[in-house]
Homo-oligomer: A and B are copies of this chain.
Amino acid sequence: MIEIPLIDLNKQELFKDYKNKFKALADEKRLEILHLLTTDGESCVCDLQPKIDMTQSKLSYHLKILLDADLITRTTKGTWSYYKIKEETINHILSEELCCIFRPSRKKDSDTCC
């Protein structure tokens, strides 16, 4: 006998993906990191560390969560890891009103900005 799901599976998959992204956004420290990456652009861990008050291992932990949620990207050059906002994802999820906080390309110059 076939069970009919209460809600279709594609939506369940979508919800799971959004849940992961919202979970990654659901932390003040991580919002701070995202904001820093938005204003300062691509940065390495050692750049971020003094700007937000956090130990290196904690910072790496939070960056990994943002990375896994596809909200940022990483490129490694030698012993440095450079992190950058993934605008594609951020813009897909967040409203334009949040633009000047987390959307680099919409920073301050648009009328629709806060």
Q: By the criterion CB–CB under 8 Å, are B52 and A31 in contact?
A: no
Copies in the complex: 2
Given contacts A15-B31, A26-B19, contact A52 B93 (CB under 8 A): no
Q: By the criterion CB–CB under 8 Å, are A7 and B32 in contact?
A: yes
Judge if A25 is at the interface, Cβ distance under 8 Å.
yes
Judge if A11 is at the interface, Cβ distance under 8 Å.
yes
Judge if A61 is at the interface, Cβ distance under 8 Å.
no
In the complex, the chain B residue whose C-beta lies closest to that of A90 is: B95
Q: By the criterion CB–CB under 8 Å, are B7 and A52 in contact?
A: yes
Query: What residues of chain A have their CB less than 8 Å away from a CB belonging to chain B?
Result: 6-7, 11-12, 14-16, 18-19, 22-23, 25-28, 31-32, 35, 51-53, 91-98, 101
